[in-house]
Structure 1
Amino acid sequence: MKKYLYIIIGTMMIGNVFAQNKNMTDTIFSIREVEVVGTNLKKNEVGKLNVPLQYLPLSVTTVSANTLDMRGIVNMQDAVKFLPNTRMRTTYGAYQQFEVRGFDFTPIMIDGVRDERTSITNSAPLPDLSSVESIELLKGPASVLYGHSTVGGVLNVIRKAPTSKNTLNALMSYGSWDNKRAMIDFGGKFFGPFNYRAVVNWSDNEGYRYTNDKRFSGYFALGGQLDAKQELDIRAGFNRDWYGTEIGLPQFMANDVYNADGSKYLSKGDMLPGLNRRWRYNNESDFMKNNGSNVSVRYSNKVSESLKIENRLAYNYDNIDYFSTETLSYMESADPIYNHYYMKVDAKTKEQTKQYICLDTVQLTYPLRFAYTVHVINEQLEASGKIEFDNGMKYNYLGGYNFVYFHRNTYRGYGGTNPQTNKTYQLSDLIDGPGLNSKVPVYNPHSMGYMDPHFSAGTATRNITNGVYLQNLLELSDQFKVMASGRFDHFLFKTATATINPISKERKYSDQPEFDKTTTSSFTYRLGAVYLPATNLSVYGSFANFFMPYRDIVSSNIIYINADGNRFEPKDGDQAFKPQTGYQGEIGVRYSHNNILQATASAFYIRKNNEKKTLKTGVVEDGVTKSVVGVVGSSESKGFELELTLTPVDNAALSFGYGYTDATIRDIKKNEYMEEEVQKGMRLAGIPKNTFFAAGNYRISKGMFSNLGFNLTVSYTDNVYRTVDKGVVYPAYWLTDLGVSYKLKNGIQLRANVNNVFDEKYYNQSLGTQMVPSMPRNYLFTLAYSL
């Protein structure tokens, strides 16, 4: 496939996606080829209502495709640097977890349709950005707009729309560590009233850490005006991605470590000396495949100015297949058979004894095998419009119904019961080959043999969500706007534990019992007001709430504690716990000046209640050992954001963003099982307090160097605790990226990018205490053509 794609691109030399003309009706502001990052006062899609953003009491930031393309960015984890108060966490080499304003439940949408995978664990591999037109981030709780589990906000990925203009673009790029990519993008008139757009992207990357990731995706959009009132838009996409997975370097020291003679060798938290940051400890059998596809149909009919009907039906399919080494264990012994030791403390007696540890070898003790298939149907029916009154007041509304069906079957290669012995399967029962428990040298590691895993059990889950909502924006005058919106959701969750007998490499349940189920209902709202003392200045305030349903099935092995700290006894089929709830209060200001300056500032406070905590384990009642679980926790996040976009001349643009978040654990409701609040006031894990970026583009417009362009990006991420006890800390880091481009008169464009210019050595992910080194200085060279 890659050979033919290169031949097509190299022969036709057709277009690139980087030079796209926009006007002031777009959600982002562009000046020819100099694109601006930031917020804009024009209409946005994520806010739903068909009014300018300055009329809404919301905080929205937009990043354009051009901003990303000029910097060679095609992955979401690199794009979020332009979104203050956010962080994209990568785990296992492919799973992305998005955090905004201190909380990590921020669903991701594609063209306004939720990716329901990110609503469950907020962790899923994301497709590349080759077909993306722009990215919009609505910050803060948004349950009133998009339903459950929208705590930090909502990220909307907007793909390229069909175009009537003949468009034919392509690029080829090559970078450090054999990073190869080819992309083709074309569109124009199709037939009758319909236009189209198509994108194909391929990449193959050995990678700094030898992950050898491979990605292939395609996108097609067809749309047009059926008549003066009716519009039809059909979009479809697919991805076929393969990842090598990532388990990092051997664990850093959990204790002070001593030489055999008693002299200190390493301190707690130290990494082993002399490790090469490129060394890879994964087994040769490790992999993750992600195959996905989606299709959506949107039909709209503008009956009149006061009534527009729109229906959007979408189907998504996702297939994950995963096996990875994961845990790297040091071998230990109470006997002095190794050259180093640490002092082991007995949990009960507190007595210390020497525990000898081998630091020149790691053992592959717990590889993880799982897979799942997901089918999602999402139906949205909306009616919207504007009504103008004789006194000059205007009423904007949007009412709708949303139905979501989520179907997932999971298959796992751990746990499960052997029907012959009636005992739980051990990994040795499920994994063939010499790789399991193999010993890999710490220095100059290499695979010690393959592993061939089998499935032993599974879980089937179904979610069904029904939501009705109404947004109201009343324009009292040119200066005053008032919003009152509400939504009611009913959430049904069903689950069943399935068996796979005998163990198999195939995804097939041998037995699936009846589903257990639980339901949750919730009403959410947003109230807000906007004041515009001038047409280019708006001040707003809003208050909104959210909810997150639990998916717990009532169990006889659990002692249940409610939000008041009291014990209660839910019955089978009941809601085990009330959902997590919370709210946000926000104030902000927006200002623009003659398309030269755009500035926004916002301050927020978010509280989350009914957080589930395991309070105690090993409690014996009536001969049954139980765990105590209660929704007694709460947390809060407060902070602010500043964003500025400056375009002093038509060939230069500057943008800046700063975010501050103070996210901490609040009170834990006292109860008979837990009286001491050991975590109160602790900083939440995964959240940097300070984030910053500065980005600039400049293009020479006259003289012998005309069409020579430059771009600069500087970003900062504060230190991050992986766990609240600070067991793992990712230090703060600065990154500087530079780019240069030159556009020839025949449409060819040459680009060169240098990322991490100052070769910062940093970490921003790990598997437990196995730190994953991030990329040092790297290069990317691109040849592009625009017809």
Structure 2
Amino acid sequence: MDAEPGPGETPEGGTGSRLDLDPYEVPAQVRTKNMDELRRRGAGVSLDSALGQVPGVNPTWRYGGFQQIRSRGFRAIILNDGRRDDRAAIVNSHPQGGLWSVDRIEVLQGPAAVLYGFGSVGGVVNIVRKTPTETATYEADFAAGGGGLVQAHTGASGPIAGGLTYRIDAGYTRENNFRNHEMTRLEGAFSLGYSPHPKHRLLLRVGINEDRYNNDSGVPTVETSSGDREVPDEIDLSQRFNTPQDFLNYHRRDFELAYDWRIHDVLKFRQRVSYTRDTYDYFSTEGLAYDPAAAPNEVQRTFYFYFHHHWFPLLSQSEFLLDFLTGPISHKAIVAYEFNAMLGAYSDRASNIFDEDIPPIGLGDEYDPAPQIPIIVDGRLRADMFVHSVFAQDHLSFPLGFNLLVGARYDSFTFEARRDQLDPGTDDVTQRGPVDDRQDHLFSYRAGLVYNGVDRFSPYVSWSTGYRPNSGLGISTDLDGDGRPDFDREPEQAQQIEGGLRFNVAERFSLTAAAYGIWKSNVTYSRPMEQIDTAGRVRSHGLEVDATFEPWSWMRANLGYAWTQAQFVEFEVDGTSLADNAPAFVPPHSANAWLSFGPFAGFGVDVGGRFNGTQYGDNQNLIEMPAYALLDAAVWYERGPLRLTVNGTNLTNETDYFVSAIGNQVTPGAPTVVFGQMNLRF
């Protein structure tokens, strides 16, 4: 293993255990994507492009600014250096910040509630940030090209004095794609490390994100004679139908303090406290309709939607790590307490927008007749969340190469919410709504057995459970009309059985493979206008394979494939049974492949691509999103600290494919994009 990780750091592959274990000792699949390699290949611009390199993981964007991730057929959550993003307890999708301060991305697939608590039923995506270094390093990056892409970044790290180190990053990104969907982002990160003594280490982090989007509600579909839905030929996939007023403004501030204390050779204490101010102001045309018989030359825009979310998650993690022997058995264990709170969270609403008529827009028209409308805030949803958690995990190493990992977790979850009416002029509460609450007491477990008696060969089997409270999803709905949020949904429950292996030959060839089955109950799915559907039971099983082959220092091949078979067992929507249907955004087959050559006299080439099989854009399986394969390439030159790269994505110019869907609308994928990069490291 490498040197012991510092405070707030995740060791390579450590997402699968929260212990300083070699990945070959862990009964789970953790896939690691290095950001420098992703950027060289042109996949480091955003989180969805990075995760598109992981088979079995399907990232999608909703309305052009809200990230949603599925792993093994189910929702996965975001971690920041192992710290859960608590927005997942309240909303189904949310904006995601930039990646310039990120070192790598680790993906743990399958339920992980013992390690990371609620929400992690489909898996977790851990965004591991860069940390201060003992040696001085400096970075500068610039990229520009197709899709209106402009990126700039500068970073520095190194010692200050007397055990004090620092890291700073500042970045800018702008995109304006073929649909005139525009995003601008400013991001910054600062971290300060301090080690007054080898046994004591501190880390302070501060982060900032300022994003603006003009939104993208996709293109409408029409019903066919068979009852399915498809995009009509009359629709130009490059035309965006949102009004000029539509916006999403995202503001995020992160603060974190981490402390490590090596109490004894066998005992270590870790403490982390983090606080985030996360707000996003959103107004958008969400509903689109096209009737070729009644109005063949225009698209109807059926409704606006508005909210202004204010989330303030607070987290405290206290961990004791033990490393000891009981006879011939060695132990690496963790015992921890966590406190999560969402204090004073609220979401402002404007009821007047539902009374506004939106004028249609003509097919191919550049002029948009939609007027500016006032947004009169007159309602507020308030929510408070408190979670107390205790968990323990022990990794036992037996003679003859057997390793056993066992863990359990208890979570006490309390959620309170109410709806208030506001005076539009003063924001004063004119009518305080009744408070509704819910409490859940939930247990999660994991167990796994690994054999690594043969060097770099480790088969394993594992069993794990997970849950996701459905309380937060009800803050926007009041189906029974009592004025209270709907909190009658039981928590989403999941369990998984998995078997797999890791194999490595002389660091030249490595293979990881896993077969799994997941069973879930009380699963919820969101629809437009914040409507929630509850499915009885859903199951998923599949196979994942990753291989790396490096026969020579100048050649490397990466291959990945995932087969995912997910279907509803019990699910009824509007009186119609959806049993045996496939959940939305779960392609049964996905794959990626990359070949890297070089450097030869400083020059190198990366050629690769990804494939997604046919998937559905809705749970009713009416919107079929065709299979597609995209070819990407990068040509680069390195000399000393400088690297110059020309990237091309979707080089075959595939245009008839879709990457997301909302309601009866689908979002087209981008055609060929070519851009250049300059990277300096010294």
Structure 1 position 514, deviation (Å): 5.0
The structural deviation recorded for 1:730 is 1.2
Indicate how the Cα distance of structure 1 residues 452 and 526 shifts in structure 2: closer, same or farther if over 3 A, else same: same
Contact 1:46 1:138 in 2 (8 A): yes
Residue 68 of structure 1 aligns to a residue whose secondary structure is helix
Match among 363, 366, 371 for residue 303 of structure 2: 366
Q: Which residue of 2 aligns with 1:427?
A: 354
User: Residue 603 of structure 2 corresponds to which residue in structure 1?
Assistant: 708
SS in structure 2 of the partner of residue 82 of structure 1? coil
Match of 1:725, as an amino acid?
Answer: Q
Q: Tell me how far 1:138 sits from its aligned partner.
A: 1.0
User: Is contact 2:353-2:375 (8 Å) kept?
Assistant: no
Amino acid across the alignment from 1:286: D
Aligned residues of 2:558 and 2:595 also touching (Cα < 8 A): yes
1:49: which partner in 2? Answer: 19
The answer to whether the 8 Å contact 2:535/2:571 transfers is yes
Structure 2 stretches lacking a partner, 5+ long? 527-531
**Deviations 1:447-501 (CA, angstroms, capped at 9, x unpaired):** 1132332222121111111100000111112511112210000000100001122
Q: Tell me the distance in 1 between the aligned counterparts of 2:78 and 2:597.
A: 32
Equivalent residue number for residue 254 of structure 1: 223
Relative to 1, partners in 2 of residues 1:132 and 1:392: Cα closer, same or farther, differing over 3 Å? same
**Cα distance change on mapping 1:726 and 1:144 into 2, 3 Å:** same
Q: Would the aligned equivalents of 2:16 and 2:26 in 1 still touch at CA under 8 Å?
A: no
Q: Number of paired residues?
A: 665
Counterparts of 1:271 and 1:606 in 2: how far apart (Å)? 33
Q: What does 1:310-321 correspond to in 2, within 5 Å? A: 310-321=270-281
Q: State which drifts further: 488-497 or 652-661.
A: 652-661
Cα gap change, 1:758/1:557 in structure 2, threshold over 3 Å: closer, same or farther?
closer
- Say whether residues 1:753 and 2:651 are aligned partners: no
Q: CA, structure 1 residues 688+582, in 2 after alignment: closer, same or farther (shift >3 Å)?
A: same
After superposition, give the CA deviation of every residue in 1:167-187 in whole Å (9 maximum; x if it has no partner): 111122111133111111111
Amino acid at match of 1:581: Q
Q: Is the 8 A contact 1:281 1:445 kept in 2?
A: no
Name the CA distance, whole Å, in 1 between partners of 2:457 and 2:593. Answer: 23
SS of alignment partner, residue 180 of structure 2: coil
Structure with max Cα Rg = 1
Tell me whether 1:393 sits opposite 2:352 in the alignment: no
Aligned residue type for 2:38: L
Deviations 1:42-62 (A, max 9, x none): 652442012211112111111
Shift of 1:609: 1.8
Q: Deviations over 1:598-648 (max 9, x none)?
A: 21111100000234699xxxxxxxxxxxxxx99771110000110111222
Paired residue for 1:678?
A: 577
1:690 matches 2:589: yes
In the TM superposition, what is the alpha-carbon distance from 1:558 to its structure 2 partner? 5.1
TM-score after normalising by structure 1 = 0.80
- Could you tell me whether the CA contact under 8 Å between 1:46 and 1:156 is conserved in 2? no
Q: Which residue of 1 aligns with 2:529?
A: none
Match of 1:245 among 196, 210, 215: 215
Structure-2 separation of matches of 1:758 and 1:638:
32
Please say if 1:464 is aligned against 2:367. no
Q: Distance in 1 between matches of 2:487 and 2:354?
A: 35
- CA positional deviation for 1:385: 1.6
Instruction: Say if 1:328 and 1:157 are closer, same or farther in 2 by CA, change over 3 A.
Output: same
Contact map agreement 1:685 1:724 (CA 8 A) in 2? yes
2:104 aligned with 1:134: yes
| Partner of residue 320, structure 2 | 383
Q: Closer, same or farther in 2 for the Cα pair 1:642/1:268, shift >3 Å? A: closer
Counterpart Cα distance in 1 of 2:167 and 2:271 = 21
Taking structure 1 as reference, are residues 460 and 471 closer, same or farther at Cα in structure 2, changes over 3 Å only?
A: same
Distance 1:639 1:223 in 2: 43
Query: What corresponds to 2:202 in structure 1?
Result: 232
Hey, what's the Cα distance between the residues in 1 that align with 2:70 and 2:644? 35
Q: Give matches, 1:9-408, under 5 Å.
A: 44-72=14-42, 73-104=44-75, 106-249=76-219, 251-256=220-225, 269-330=229-290, 341=293, 357-389=294-326, 391-407=327-343, 408=345
**Contact map agreement 1:539 1:589 (CA 8 A) in 2:** yes
* Aligned counterpart in structure 2 of residue 474 of structure 1, from 390, 396, 418: 396
In structure 2, the residue matched to 1:781 is 676
| 1:254/1:480 CA distance change after superposition, 3 Å | same
> Shift of the alpha carbon at 1:223?
1.1
Structure 1 unmatched ranges of 5 or more:
1-22, 28-39, 257-265, 332-339, 342-356, 415-424, 560-571, 615-628
**How many Å separate the matches in 2 of 1:580 and 1:657?**
30
| Distance of aligned partners of 1:770 and 1:612 in 2 relative to their CA distance in 1, 3 Å threshold | closer
In structure 1, the residue corresponding to 2:312 is in which secondary structure? Answer: strand
- The question of whether the paired residues in 1 share the 8 Å contact of 2:274 and 2:316 is answered with yes
Deviations 1:255-301 (A, max 9, x none): 55xxxxxxxxx997453434433222221111110010101111011
Q: Separation in 2 of the partners of 1:203 and 1:574?
A: 39
CA offset digits 1:334-379 (Å, max 9, x no partner): xxxxxx64xxxxxxxxxxxxxxx11212333311111111101000
AA at the equivalent of 2:634: G
Q: How far has the Cα of 1:513 moved from its partner?
A: 3.5
How far apart, CA to CA, are the structure 2 residues paired with 1:631 and 1:367? Answer: 25
Are the aligned partners of 1:96 and 1:123 in contact in 2 as well (CA < 8 Å)?
A: yes
Shift of 1:507: 6.3
- What code does the residue aligned with 1:589 have? L
CA distance in 2, matches of 1:100, 1:113: 19
Change (3 A) 1:56 1:556: closer
Aligned position for 1:580: 492
Q: Would the alpha carbon gap of residues 75 and 509 (structure 1) be closer, same or farther in structure 2, given more than 3 Å must change?
A: farther
2:409 aligned to which of 487, 490, 502: 487
- Aligned partners of 1:464 and 1:267: how far apart in 2? 45
One-letter amino acid of the counterpart of residue 396, structure 1 = K
Q: Residue 436 of structure 2 contacts residue 487 of structure 2 at CA under 8 Å; is this kept in 1?
A: no
Matched with 1:604 is 516
Answer yes or no: is the 8 Å Cα contact 2:465–2:493 preserved in 1: yes
Residue in structure 2 matched with residue 11 of structure 1 by the alignment: none
- Residues 575 and 218 of structure 1, relative CA distance in 2, 3 Å threshold: closer
Corresponding letter in the other structure for 1:759 = N
Partner of 1:444: 365
User: Contact conserved, 2:618 with 2:661, CA < 8 A, in 1?
Assistant: no
Q: Does 1:409 pair with 2:346?
A: yes
Provide the secondary structure at the position in 1 that maps to 2:584.
Answer: coil
Q: Which amino acid aligns with 1:322?
A: Y
> What secondary structure is seen at the aligned counterpart in 1 of 2:37?
helix
The 1-side partners of 2:364 and 2:535 are apart by: 47
| Counterpart position of 2:506 | 594
Task: Tell me, in whole angstroms, the C-alpha distance in 1 between the residues paired with 2:580 and 2:433.
Answer: 44
Question: In structure 1, which of residues 503, 516, 533 is the aligned counterpart of residue 436 of structure 2?
Answer: 516
**Contact persistence 2:16–2:29 (CA under 8 A):** no
Deviation at 1:211, TM superposition (A): 1.9
Is the contact between residue 89 and residue 468 of structure 2 (CA under 8 Å) also seen in structure 1?
Answer: no
Shift of 1:127: 0.7
Shift of 1:578: 3.5
Distance in 2, Cα, partners of 1:736 & 1:507: 52
User: Is the CA contact (8 Å cut-off) linking 2:13 and 2:106 kept in structure 1?
Assistant: no
Q: After superposition, give the CA deviation of every residue in 1:63-114 in whole Å (9 maximum; x if it has no partner).
A: 011121212322011011221211001110010100000112x110111111
| Local SS of the residue matching 2:31 | strand
Distance 1:363 1:466, change over 3 A: same
Alignment partner of 2:658 out of 756, 759, 763: 763
Are the aligned partners of 1:84 and 1:657 in contact in 2 as well (CA < 8 Å)?
yes
Q: Deviations over 1:578-605 (max 9, x none)?
A: 3222210011111111211221111100
Counterpart in the other structure of 1:549: 469
Deviation at 1:661, TM superposition (A): 0.7
Q: C-alpha displacement at 1:574, in angstroms?
A: 12
Contact 2:222–2:290 (CA<8 Å) still a contact in 1? no
Contact kept? 2:606, 2:634, Cα under 8 Å: yes
Alignment check: 8 A CA contact 2:15 2:30 kept: no
